[in-house]
């Protein structure tokens, strides 16, 4: 029981420290930065879960195994695309490339989902931090002009704190987001290449049943 109370006190103290951190940096900038960070990592997590390739084997190997009936249940975009592409190619029809493009259109759309929002948030976060920096410097210079070294708002110390804390939080939101975005963009590029390879292999006769 005492351990639970101690844990609750620790959580409460951490929450109070976070609230103080927000107010020291200025809530008009810090709260939008926190909201941008939460939304950014939600979008990154969604894309991370969405961009599942499936099996790590070569596309040509996966197609051959699917034709031989030895494929595992689809567990990613590439696995599902192979199954769908083989089903399309086995149905005799003209303009096969167009039907394959239509069959893969959903995957192309899913690969780009949330990219615009992530790009915007990664670019906005440091700008919000810069806005807080400007606001803090304005407060600092106003304090210097009025000689209010010990005003109720904190004067010079408050202005410098606002400038530093908002810049810090803006970078904390933006820098990891840029790194995670680069990793996801690389994974998206690889999956797009795999989808293009699947279509080329199927159109070149890779869908023929093995002897």
Report the pLDDT value the prediction gives residue 120, as an integer from 0 to 100.
Answer: 95
Report the pLDDT value the prediction gives residue 36, as an integer from 0 to 100.
Answer: 93
| pTM (predicted TM-score) | 0.77
For 26: left if phi > 0, alpha if psi spans -120 to 50, otherwise beta; the answer is left
Tokens representing 148 are: 């209010």
Report the pLDDT value the prediction gives residue 12, as an integer from 0 to 100.
Answer: 65
CA 156/CA 144 separation, integer angstroms = 7
Provide the residue ranges of all domains of the chain, joining segments of one domain with +: 28-206
CA 26/CA 207 separation, integer angstroms = 62
Tell me 91's DSSP state.
S
Stated as kind and residue range, the H or E segment containing 165 is helix 155-201
Tens place of pLDDT per residue across the chain (211 aa): 545 545 555 566 666 665 665 666 667 788 889 999 999 999 999 999 999 888 888 898 988 888 888 877 888 899 999 999 998 888 777 788 888 889 899 998 999 999 999 999 999 999 988 888 887 777 777 766 665 544 444 555 555 666 778 888 889 999 999 999 999 999 999 999 999 999 999 888 754 444 3
Q: Do 66 and 86 contact (CB within 8 A), yes or no?
A: yes
Report the pLDDT value the prediction gives residue 75, as an integer from 0 to 100.
Answer: 85
Q: How many helices (H) and strands (E) does the chain have?
A: 8, 0
CA 132/CA 147 separation, integer angstroms = 22
Tell me 4's DSSP state.
H
Q: How would you class 68 by CB atoms within 10 Å of its CB: exposed for 0-12, middle for 13-18, buried for 19 or more?
A: exposed
Report the pLDDT value the prediction gives residue 143, as an integer from 0 to 100.
Answer: 66
CA 4/CA 102 separation, integer angstroms = 57
């Amino acid at each position: 029981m005492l351990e639970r109370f101690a844990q609750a006190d620790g959580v409460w103290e951490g929450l109070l420290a976070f609230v103080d951190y927000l107010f020291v940096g200025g809530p008009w900038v810090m709260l939008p930065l926190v909201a941008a960070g939460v939304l950014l990592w939600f979008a990154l997590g969604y894309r991370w879960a969405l961009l599942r390739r499936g099996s790590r084997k070569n596309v040509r190997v996966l197609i051959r195994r699917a034709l031989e009936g030895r494929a595992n249940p689809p567990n990613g975009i590439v696995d599902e695309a192979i199954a769908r592409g083989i089903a399309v190619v086995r149905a005799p029809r003209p303009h096969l490339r167009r039907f394959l493009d239509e069959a893969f259109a959903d995957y192309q759309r899913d690969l780009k989902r949330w990219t615009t929002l992530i790009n915007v948030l990664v670019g906005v976060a440091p700008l919000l931090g810069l806005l807080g920096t400007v606001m803090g410097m304005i407060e600092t210079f106003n304090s210097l002009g009025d000689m209010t070294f010990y005003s109720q708002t904190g004067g010079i110390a408050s202005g410098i704190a606002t400038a530093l804390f908002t810049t810090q939080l803006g970078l904390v939101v933006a820098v990891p987001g840029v790194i995670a975005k680069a990793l996801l963009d690389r994974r998206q590029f690889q999956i797009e290449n795999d989808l293009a390879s699947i279509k080329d292999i199927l159109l070149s006769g890779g869908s023929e049943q093995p002897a």
